[in-house]
A and B are shown apart, each in its own frame.
Chain A
Amino acid sequence: MATQLKRTELIFKEYMDCNALMKNVMKMGRDAFIQELLDSGLKGRGGAGFPTGLKWKIVKETNSDVKYVVCNADEGEPGTFKDREILTKASDKVVWGMALAAYIVGAKEGFIYLRGEYKFLGTKLRIAIDRMENSIRALGINFKLELVFGAGAYICGEETSLLQSMAGHRGEPTNKPPFPVNWGYLGKPTVVNNVETFVNTMIIAEIGSAEYKKLGTKASQGSKLFSVSGDCCKEGVFELEMGMTVQEFVEEFGDGDTKAVQVGGASGFCVPRKEFANTIIGYEGIPTGGSMKVFNSSRSMYNILENYLVFFEEESCGQCTPCRVGTQQLLRGVRAVKRKEKPKSYLDELLKLANTMKYASKCGLGRSVGNAFKSIIENFREEIVY
């Protein structure tokens, strides 16, 4: 197997003098650094891909004496485990990235919303926080960082539910607008970024946007961590340049018998073999928070789809109709078709329903259930029906 994929080594690079980087940014000035972020083309690594520089700029420019910085470490997408790796191996870079954000936007308090199952990382993180807080105090920056633990709901990774959960409410998405950048934690302007995003801002502070931009493609700049699992020859977390095709990915990681790759987890897309060569992993193709699940020909795509739908039926927050009831109908619907209780044509009704869910749901969860559903039904219809 020819290895053509460009591996990068930025996130887990051993040494980073965070203190010196912070001083540099302070010398450079807030606006200049925001410009650096914008120039770098960095987009959020949590999945939604919002330009990070723009997010920070909006919060910086919003008038409020209280602002917050929140790190989304809820990592709940099935098949994603790269934030855990970052928090284990590069916790300093995360907390410094948050301090950087706080300095830029003018926040004095921050929180890491940590997936409940990652409680064991708490001590490590607290030590990193203490170290960072002591150093920045010496730089004259006043920033306090705290840990908050999630309770196991996937939906609490969605930023507005995360903020609701932090405030002690039911973890349910709220209407957008208002967006967290204007009306976030406790109604104050809030930066919410993924773990990996914060680390990337530190990398940009270190190497500069010009160097950073050299990685990746025009639409997807920089490198990205991928959580590789499934029927593959090597699994784990890999830092790769963005913009590769699924074909290139499969050649490196597949077991030689790859039938499909689920890019982006349960809420992502299923790419069948015939599409490998012309599907780009990145914002111009299929964006991903990092989850790459490889399936070989021994797998039943029906089982895979059913598994995702069971997940969504449970993990929908349940507040909006298209998602709460739609997920149940999709699951029961494919089961009924499989058992021949409904005709094959019922799948077409379900595809229409998936379309409604995509357009009418309140948040990203309901809107993305249709991704996996549609891509599996359309590409593996015979496996669902027979």
Chain B
Amino acid sequence: MNNTVNITINGTPLQVAEGTTILNAAKMLNVHIPTLCHHDDLCVAGNCRICVVEVKGDKTLVASCATPVKEKMEILTNTQQIRQARKHILELLLTEHNINCIKCSKSNSCELQTLALEYRTDEELFLSLRRESNPDMSSYAIQKDSSKCIRCTRCVRTCAEIQGVNALTMSYKGMHTIMTTFLDKPMSEVVCTNCGQCINRCPTGALIERNYIEEVWDAIYDPSKHVVVQTAPAVRVALGERFALRPGHRVTGKMVAALRSMGFDSILDTDWSADLTIMEEGTELLSRLKKALVDGDASTALPMFTSCSPGWIKFIEHIYPDFLPNLSTCKSPQQMFGALAKTYYAEKKGIDPKNMISVSIMPCTAKKYEANRPEMRDSGFQDVDYVLTTRELASMIQQTGVNVNTLKAENYDSIMGASTGAAVIFGATGGVMEAAIRTAYEIVTGREVPFEKLNIIPVRGFEGIKEASLRLEKVKPEWDFLEGVELKVAIAHGLANARNLVQAIKDKKVEYHFVEIMACPGGCLGGGGQPIPTNVEIRTARMEAIYKEDEKMPIRKSHENPEIKAIYEEFLEEPNSHKSHKLLHTYYTERNRY
């Protein structure tokens, strides 16, 4: 069915594959057609109508995003009728829109604003239909302002197609049509996982993260506070995009320098606690396997699911509460870090934890929610005080006037700043799995994983659900129950894929020992707190950068991180010890289904 058809666009002949949309065909000729409801990651909606074009012989204009080409189609993209329609559509959207652009954090990156400037909509052609702005601030992570919504449904489609969550929906009809939640409930009361994927695809400022920039500046400027900051693996491969660097340009050292210049007292790394997570989670997996295989304990839940992704955690609490026992009890790296910052770090540095403020920089909006969970206070204080997204950090750096591109790279502080290549790959789908296997295989067999340069290729890449297996042979005597066992693992990213995978496990169609799930497409590198826009090319570039960062690290296995060895010797004793259970492990809560 790969036939080609002959068409013309503005008189220029073109041969394209059958089924190509007019919009994509026009791109091939560098003919720009404006769009709003269209997004490369999503199915076609065809509702904003800004992309209308003329097809000779048709009675009306057609939406170029939704119309496939046909043999001999003659397409015009720039006629009086089309221009008039586009201008009208923009004017109409603006009559509904809250046009207080200067007070909107999406100003300058708003697709509606860009088009409005292009079409010089400075006169009000029609009557104002604007309603008062009354943003929903109920969620710790996501702020929803209907007065800025253009009803393009990109968020609704994201939530349904990519995430399978359906927290957002279109409701009412006619003039009352609006994007909202089930029964118009506040965002904090519905199935929203706080993943922020909707934010990444919102063309305007209707959905943005709750920002905590001022709170963090206040803490930095407060001389009585010792402010520590941790940076997640995926931030370093995306932050540069906000400073005109190409996607995938790594800025690890420059980011550290920028944070130091901003006045944080200690610049530390979530990668360090990612290594710690591997120790705790790997040990938990092995002990679950032992309980199941040796002790025959039927109550041991397998497969074990990873628990690093707070969007995924909230998803499973809402949708698959039966599977909560399968979740690793390990906190995420952010929360392990938080609990240890105000205990271990405070103790070592001789700081009173009540004078500490713990900030984290995350590619994620769900982390904002996670930090505010009531159970995340094992240090005796809120373990992580403020979570900033990559985007918020970029804004703060811009406020300081520092030019990131010319900064000299600097190193993380110690303690809790040293990390390995196994930690940085947490930022990509399959990364936790790869890091866990690198360590667990070596613990069990005493040998390195049998993959060239430690690169476990089968668990990498963008496939929605990945599967792999690894045979354990010639194991060490203390692990003899694992001799000959085929370790089966699976990986899913994007909650729609996660849903399919968990359902298959529930239906007993598949069986695994260990399953990694990340809420966002591509893993954290495609997180809801990352720079906008997002698309496959950008996510691919970030992923390549993550694996490059891994390869250049001198140590690439979590259990070899000297600062990890040190914390077990000095503070935690051993993985899954009593103390680590108190500080580094957690529990989960069943939640409503809407």
Chain-B contact segment, one of A87-95, A110-118, A215-223, A322-330: A322-330
- A214 beta carbon closer than 8 Å to chain B: no
Contact between chains at B92 and A360 (CB < 8 Å): no
Query: Quick check: B174 and A362 within 8 Å, CB to CB?
Result: no
| Number of residue pairs A-B, CB distance < 8 angstroms | 112
Partner of A320, one of B48, B84, B95: B48
A348 interface residue (CB < 8 Å to B): no
Secondary structure dominating the interface of A? helix
A353 in contact with B126 (CB, 8 Å): yes
- Partner pick for A177 among B67, B81, B125, CB 8 A cutoff: B67
A361 & B49 in contact (Cβ 8 Å cutoff)? yes
Given A321-B92, A325-B93, also A359-B85 (CB < 8 A): yes
Range for the number of chain B residues in contact with chain A: 35 or more
A residues 334-386 touching B (CB-CB < 8 Å): 336, 349, 352-353, 355-356, 358-362, 367
**Distance A83 CA – B151 CA, assembled complex (angstroms):** 35
Q: Do B49 and A320 have beta carbons less than 8 Å apart? A: yes
Closest chain B residue, CB of each to CB of A329: B126
Per-position 1/0 for B496-509, Cβ under 8 A of A:
00000000000000
Q: Is there an interface contact between B49 and A362, defined as CB atoms closer than 8 Å?
A: yes
Q: Which residues in chain B, 50-67, are within 8 Å of chain A measured between CB atoms?
A: 50, 52, 60-61, 63, 66-67
Question: How many A residues touch B, CB cutoff 8 Å?
Answer: 36
Please, which residues of chain A bring their CB within 8 A of the CB of B81?
A: 359
CB pair B48 A321 closer than 8 Å = yes
When distances are taken between beta carbons in the complex, the residues of chain B under 8 Å from A367 are: 60
Of chain B, the residue at the smallest CB distance from A177 is B68
Query: B479-520 interface mask toward A, CB cutoff 8 Å, 1 = contact, 0 = none?
Result: 000000000000000000000000000000000000000000
Given A313-B175, A318-B176, A356-B89: A328 in contact with B84 (beta carbons within 8 A): no
Complex-state Cα separation, A314 to B125, whole angstroms: 23
Determine which residue in A170, A324, A361 has the highest number of CB atoms from chain B within 10 A of its CB, and name it. A324
B88 within 8 A of A: yes
| Chain A residue contacts of B47, Cβ below 8 A | 319-321, 362
Asked if A153 is an interface residue, CB under 8 A from chain B, the answer is yes
Is B93 touching A321 in the complex (CB atoms < 8 A)?
yes
Cβ–Cβ < 8 Å partners of B127 in chain A = 329, 332-333, 336
Closest to A153 in B: B173
Q: A360 contacts which of B52, B150, B170, B177 (Cβ < 8 Å)?
A: B52
With A319-B151, A320-B48: A356-B129 Cβ-Cβ less than 8 Å: no
Contacts of B172 in A (CB 8 A): 318
Q: Beta-carbon contacts of B281-303 to A below 8 Å, as 1s and 0s?
A: 00000000000000000000000
Say yes or no: A175-B88 contact (C-beta < 8 A), given A318-B177, A325-B95: no
Q: Does B46 contact A (CB under 8 A)?
A: yes
Enumerate chain B residues within 8 angstroms of A170, measured Cβ to Cβ.
170
- The answer on a CB contact under 8 Å between B173 and A314 is yes
CB interface residues, B 309-352, toward A, < 8 Å? none
Majority secondary structure, B binding face: loop
CA distance A319 to B47 in the complex (A): 6
Task: Find the A residue at minimum CB distance from B177.
Answer: A318
- The answer to whether A316 and B84 have CB atoms under 8 Å apart is no
Q: Are A315 and B60 in contact (CB under 8 A)?
A: no
**Cα–Cα, bound, A358→B61 (Å):** 9
The answer to whether A322 touches B89 (Cβ under 8 A) is yes
Say yes or no for B74: interface residue by CB 8 A criterion: no
Q: Which residues does chain A contribute within 8 Å of B61, judged by CB atoms?
A: 359-360
The reply to whether the CB of B536 lies closer than 8 angstroms to some CB of chain A is no
**Shortest CB–CB separation between residue A45 and chain B, in angstroms?**
20
- Check A98 for interface membership: any CB of B closer than 8 A: no
From B63, B84, B93, B126, give the contact of A362 (CB < 8 A): B63
Shortest C-beta distance, A58 to chain B (Å), equals 16
Given the complex, which residues of A lie within 8 Å of B151, measured CB to CB?
Answer: 318-319, 321, 324
Cβ distance B233 to chain A, nearest Cβ, rounded Å: 40
A69 within 8 A of B: no
Select A322's contact among B85, B170, B176, beta carbons within 8 Å: B85
Q: Which residues of B contact A336 (CB under 8 A)?
A: 127
- 30 of the cross-chain contacts (CB-CB < 8 Å) are A175-B63, A175-B66, A313-B175, A316-B173, A316-B174, A318-B151, A318-B174, A320-B49, A321-B48, A321-B50, A321-B92, A321-B93, A321-B150, A321-B151, A322-B85, A322-B88, A324-B175, A325-B92, A332-B127, A349-B125, A356-B89, A358-B60, A359-B61, A360-B52, A360-B60, A360-B85, A360-B89, A361-B49, A362-B47, A362-B63
Which 9 residue pairs across A and B have the least CB separation, nearest first?
A318-B177, A325-B92, A175-B66, A360-B85, A356-B88, A319-B47, A316-B174, A175-B46, A314-B174
Binding site for B on A (CB under 8 A): 153, 155, 170, 175, 177, 312-322, 324-329, 332-333, 336, 349, 352-353, 355-356, 358-362, 367
Residues on B close to A: CB < 8 A?
Answer: 44-50, 52, 60-61, 63, 66-68, 81, 84-85, 88-89, 92-93, 95-96, 125-127, 129, 150-151, 153, 170, 172-177
8 further contact pairs, Cβ within 8 A, besides A333-B127, A359-B81: A175-B63, A313-B175, A318-B176, A319-B47, A321-B49, A322-B89, A336-B127, A362-B47
